A and B are shown apart, each in its own frame.
Chain A
Amino acid sequence: MAFDLAFIWAGIIAFAILIYVVLDGFDLGIGILFPVVKAEQDKDVMINSVAPVWDGNETWLVLGGGGLFAAFPLAYAVVMPALYMPIILMLLALIFRGVAFEYRWRTTRWKGVWDIAFAGGSTGAALMQGITLGALVQGIEITGRAYSGGWWDWLTPFSILTGVAVVTGYALLGATWLVMKTSDDLQDQMRRYSLYLAVALLGFILIVSLLTPFLDPVYFQRWFNLPGSILSGVVPALVALAAWHLFSGLKNHAHQAKPFLSALSLFVLCFVGIGISFYPHIVPPSLTIWQAAAPDASLEFTLVGTVILMPLILGYSAYAYWVFRGKVDPKEGYH
């Protein structure tokens, strides 16, 4: 372990992906929940709760791709061909759900079509992201500086499991977001769904956590030898704490934001868990952060701009959320 440029950049990329997962997680989650909501006005409220911010949320995905290309070009060059199908399918799914935000206001006859595009695209993108994660955890076959597996290697029972887990998790984020942003019937409905989704997600977390150490002996060692074994006690304990907060927030109807914040912290903890499994690899099982890193001249140059621009980005993104804070007013936007 060394605190150098490659290490810092691994941290920045991890941070960008985490921010992406929690932000786009809840707006993809709203798409996943779209089919279970029947009333037209409720659907409009759901879309409007994320319409001003979804584009900014998705930009973190572009930063994930662009940042990986800049800081770890070899990892980017290995992962993309290995996960060719899920990545392309995710991109196509994101196209459908992205355009639906505008299209559904521009037509009455085809509004239903774009609602399906929104729901299907959101669910498909979430599923593919989960499958991508599972395939990465399982490991990518590398020869020389290139991927050397086939183009269906990503499809395994484990990757499908993580795919469904991520869909469930995003749906939970979306449902708790709506508990925070809406009122009356829609809020009650989402509070109910959040409960089911939370139970399902905790189940998935348990299964994936139990399976992962047995996928590769290296993961087992990282979790059950020092210093990892300290964390293998701490992280599950914190997951339990977050789950307890989530359930208490959902039960007590006075709590508006607590379920969402608890669900967010569940995601952060899962992300930390994945980090423990991976480190020091960026592409398991054989490519480390240092092997994949770009030359220092590239990392330094990009770091200067990141240090200046990242706080600004976080600042004005937070401001955009602040501007559109509070419950969504069903009347707003249609006079």
Chain B
Amino acid sequence: MLDGFSAELLARFQFAFTISFHIIFPAFSIGLASYLTVLNGLWLWTKDETYLTLFNYWVKIFALAFGMGVVSGIVMSYQFGTNWSVFADKTGPVLGPLLAYEVLSAFFLEAGFLGIMLFGRERVGPKLHMFATAMVAVGTLMSATWILSANSWMHTPAGYSINAAGQFVPEDWWKIIFNPSFPYRLVHMVLAAFLTTAFVVAGVAGWHLLKDQTNTAVRRMFSMAMWMAALVAPLQIFVGDMHGLNTLEYQPAKIMAMEGHYESHPNGAPLILFGIPNAKEKRIDYAIQIPKASSLILKHSLNAPLAGLDTIPDDEEPPVAIIFWSFRIMIALGFAMLGVGVWSLWRRWRGTLYQDRWLHRISIAMGPSGFMAVLAGWVTTEVGRQPFTIYGLLRTNDSLAPVDAPAVAASLTAFIVVYFFVFGAGTFYILRLMSKAPGAAPPDLKDGPTRTAGITPALQIKPDILPGRN
């Protein structure tokens, strides 16, 4: 099946496959951990049982998603070495410490408090349980911070020198961590995670609202998700635009590919809405475009000149078609999210948020939109960095480990089979949990340890579990 491919291509595909699968889980669990913290905090603050019902509902889903994120994440921390050992040797002095800080400040925090968050409410009491839940959320955000700093450095390297062995050597850690694209990428990704979670919650709520509009917990989570969509989607579009301007400054070739600008435009570049990239002829076929609009967006001036890929040497050009499409998918999904948010504001104002069946149907359809947008966005930025791993400095084909193609092919096949089997099953279990409305009786399963608190507030059925009993 995989004969005839070079080890490099197979290793690239393996990395793309494993990291694409992996990012789905953090994109969801970053937002969900924060959501759970908010729900638990609101439960403790207001004593409104609806929040506890929602917490107990989503925490089970979180446990599944987080578990999948952990095991697919361990793979990532070893794959730099197995398939990309030259990259590891050269960048280790700069990227290694950033990843080490991620492990020390984030992974341990999440893992250390996860057990208490899932199983410990009765053992440690509400205050410490709240603290543990918040620490898990903080851990997910810290993790995002470090890994995005490391990733951003690969796009916009700064604060380094190169030693005799060809290694990148740190000169200024401040410049390395806060490299030019890091702040934009971080905010863009964290907002993406929040939106992803909001649309999953909205999708689940929409599903149950179609069947029953009276369930208080379902109404509550739909309302919360719609607030997130209405507030965060426009913010995300704004941040995404700023991220794009930053990319124009540091990685212009990526923007050229995103925009489909094969040619330079000295008198204002058009915004190509749609078209078919033609790599052979180096043009966009059947382009539908708005004259000068690209210059307006990117340079804030109708007639500003914009250089095209004709100014970039062929062997430094990223693959245009992939980036051109993935970028458009991300943008379309972003505006669709904004549309849902605006629609919900309108319905909320009219007082029919829980009655508009089309809004609920659209919410179900948009349930996976966050994952798709996240993947499309990452494809855009990562493929846009090609043919480099460290932009402009280390080429992808110079980063590869001395591995044989059959070894990579075998491991790639194994990853594909195992991931589809294991994470397919996990997704099925998550969907099955979601198909039950919050507050409804669970299926006739013997229940796992996550359910220690039960559906009824624990204090009502067991008043002797107040803190201090241990």
Chain A residues packing against B (C-beta within 8 Å): 48, 51-53, 55-56, 58-59, 61-63, 65-67, 69-74, 76-81, 84-85, 87-88, 91-92, 94-96, 98-99, 101-108, 110, 145-148, 151, 294-295, 297-298, 301-302, 305-306, 309-310, 313, 316-317, 319-320, 323-324, 332-335
Contacts and interface: CB of A to CB of B under 8 A. Distances in A.
Contact of A294 (B67, B85, B93, B112): B93
Contacts of B422: 95-96, 99
B71 A94 contact: yes
A81 B96 contact: no
A259 to B, nearest CB: 24
A105 B96 contact: no
Given A66-B96, A84-B403, A151-B404, A301 B173 contact: yes
B171 A297 contact: yes
A35 B274 CA distance: 58
B120 A99 contact: no
Interface in B87-128: 88-97, 99-105, 107-116, 118-120, 123-124
Nearest to A16: B103
Interface of B: 63-64, 67-68, 70-75, 77-78, 80-82, 85-86, 88-97, 99-105, 107-116, 118-120, 123-124, 163, 165, 167, 169-171, 173, 401-404, 407, 411, 414-415, 418, 422, 425-426, 429, 432-433, 444-452, 454
Contacts of A73: 88-93, 96, 167
17 contacts: A56-B108, A58-B74, A62-B77, A73-B96, A76-B88, A91-B75, A92-B415, A95-B418, A106-B445, A107-B445, A309-B108, A313-B112, A320-B113, A323-B116, A323-B124, A324-B119, A333-B447
A147 B88 CA distance: 13
A333 B452 contact: yes
A70 B101 CA distance: 10
A214 B53 CA distance: 64
A87 B116 CA distance: 31
B111 A59 contact: yes
Task: Name, among B80, B110, B169, B448, the residue most crowded by chain A CB atoms within 10 Å (CB to CB).
Answer: B448
B414 A295 contact: no
Given A62-B73, A87-B82, A335 B454 contact: yes
A305 B404 CA distance: 38
Contact of A302 (B75, B78, B101, B414): B101
A306 B104 contact: yes
B112 A106 contact: no
Given A55-B115, A105-B448, A77 B73 contact: no
Closest 3 CB pairs of A and B: A73-B92, A105-B448, A80-B81
Nearest to A335: B454
A151 B429 contact: no
A305 B105 contact: yes
A105 B447 contact: yes
Contacts of A62: 73-74, 77, 103, 107
Nearest to A149: B402
Contacts of A96: 418, 422
A252 to B, nearest CB: 28
Task: Name, among B112, B171, B404, B425, the residue most crowded by chain A CB atoms within 10 Å (CB to CB).
Answer: B112
Contacts of A302: 96-97, 100-101
A110 B113 CA distance: 29
Contacts of B109: 316
A308 to B, nearest CB: 9
Contacts of A84: 82, 403, 407, 411
B103 to A, nearest CB: 5
Given A99-B71, A317-B112, 5 more contacts: A56-B108, A58-B70, A62-B74, A69-B99, A74-B89
